[in-house]
Amino acid sequence: MRKFLSAFISICTIVIALNILLGIIYPYYIGEIIYPYKNKYLEKNINSYNSVVFGSSRMWRQFDTHIFDSVLSDDKLFTYNMATGGTFNPEAYYLYKKFISELDSGQIKLAIIELQAFTPIADENIKTVKGNYWLNTQMLKYCINYINGNQDDSIVFDLKSKYIQAYLYNLNNFSKLKNWFSLLISDKSFFVENNGHSTFEDQIVRGGVKSLRNRNNEFLDDTTVLTERISAASNLDLYKNYTLNNVHLDILLDMINLSAAKGIKVIFILPPRLTSESYKELMPVFMKLSDSDIINLASYNEFSDFYTVENSFDIGHLNKDGAYRFTKEVANRVKNIIRKQK
């Protein structure tokens, strides 16, 4: 019995040690699907870029780096789009903070980041590597504190338990081995082409994405669904007096300060076509940020072009023509911010 117990303890010790070792070896982004390839490319070509974009598919699909850089050619910006699909707050904020922590001061001078509402973890994602790889102790604390600031007390306990479960699953580094090996051997260069930017139409042309074509067709078959997003964005002032989540504001200010220490100017983008629930959360935060730190492109009254069927891919995204207009507007606003700071 003693020999069995001794052997069991030894095996457990070895397994725990290997698990800890894997956690040390893995890069911080292990588990994300697209970002690792973009990050590897940028690491190899860091001297060719001095500006980055972070966020979800709204930035990946809608922010054309070539257009942006051409508008700001006098400022000699060379931008790489690090945004990926399905990457929201908190994950997107985690990736950016980890990204700048590994930079040398002065390597990047501008970061354009999508301002995002908190996206609760879905039940089906709790056990997945993609759903929990970013959930370290710091981010767990952020999520718990963020949830505590939510006014709907009925969901607070349930959400907390979900994040604690996901955090515990993330401690199992053996679950990430498949992702690690895939990253080591896979060649997915199409993710890094065109400075990291790819519209939905570009991907459809490349093939193998029938679901995207179906999504576009479903939207075009019934464009009345866009009415809800137009209504939400028609009077953003209505959302300014909703309760401010100070935890959200604190992480944004932290990102600004950490970036400044590395010589990086951060500008957050409030994108168009969000839901009213998102604006209720984001507008109070928006009002607390400096004009030089935020660009608001959400207003239907000011940017009606972002809400037309002709510029739409689906209910939440612009198509290629819309992306051109979106990027031009971002570029002109960024140019004004840079000019005022000179």
Number of residues assigned to the chain: 342
Number of Cβ within 10 Å of residue 203's Cβ equals 16
Q: What is the mean pLDDT of residues 11-39?
A: 84
Mean pLDDT of 97-126: 95
Number of domains in the chain: 1
The mean of the pLDDT values for the chain is 91
Q: How confident is the model at residue 1 (pLDDT cuts 50, 70, 90)?
A: low
**Would the pLDDT of 50 be above 60?**
yes
Round to whole Å and give the CA distance between 124 and 272: 28
Considering the chain, what percentage of its residues have pLDDT values greater than 90?
Answer: 73
In our burial notation (b when 16+ CB lie closer than 10 A, e otherwise), range 50-65 reads bbbbbbbbbbbbbbbb
Tell me the per-residue pLDDT of 270-310, one tens digit each, with 9 for 90 and over.
999 999 999 999 999 999 999 999 999 999 999 999 999 99
Q: Give the per-residue pLDDT at 212.
A: 87
| pLDDT for residue 51 | 98
Say if CB 258 and CB 100 are below 8 A apart.
Answer: yes
Which residue has 């209504």 as its token pair?
A: 231
* Domain assignment of residue 79, given as a range: 2-341
Alpha carbons within 13 A on the beta-carbon side of 105? 5
Asked if pLDDT for residue 340 goes beyond 90, the answer is no
pLDDT, residue 125, reads 92
Percentage with pLDDT > 70 across the chain: 95
What digits encode the pLDDT tens for the residues 234-277? 999 999 999 999 999 999 999 999 999 999 999 999 999 999 99
Q: What is the DSSP letter of 180?
A: H
Find out whether 294 and 267 touch, Cβ atoms under 8 Å: yes
Q: In Å, how far from its chain's centre is CA 82?
A: 9
> Quick one: pLDDT band at residue 121, thresholds 50, 70, 90?
very high
Residue of 227, 236, 309 lying closest to 271 (CA atoms): 236
Using DSSP's 3-state secondary structure scheme, residue 131 falls into helix
Both tokens assigned to 223: 């464009």
Mean pLDDT of 313-327: 96
11-15, 140-144, 155-159 — most confident range: 140-144
How far is residue 286's CA from residue 269's CA, in Å, rounded to a whole number? 10
Unique residue bearing structure tokens 């895939």: 182
Identify the pLDDT of residue 94: 98
- The torsion defined by the Cα of 293, 298, 302 and 304, in degrees rounded to 10, comes to 150
- State residue 154's pLDDT score: 59
- Residue 8 binned pLDDT confidence (cut-offs 50, 70, 90): low
pTM, rounded to two decimals: 0.93
Res. 189: pLDDT tops 80: no
Bridge partners, 117 (sequence order) = none
Report which of 56, 66, 43, 127 is spatially closest to residue 90, judged by C-alpha positions.
56
pLDDT in tens, 63-95: 999 999 999 999 999 999 999 999 999 999 999
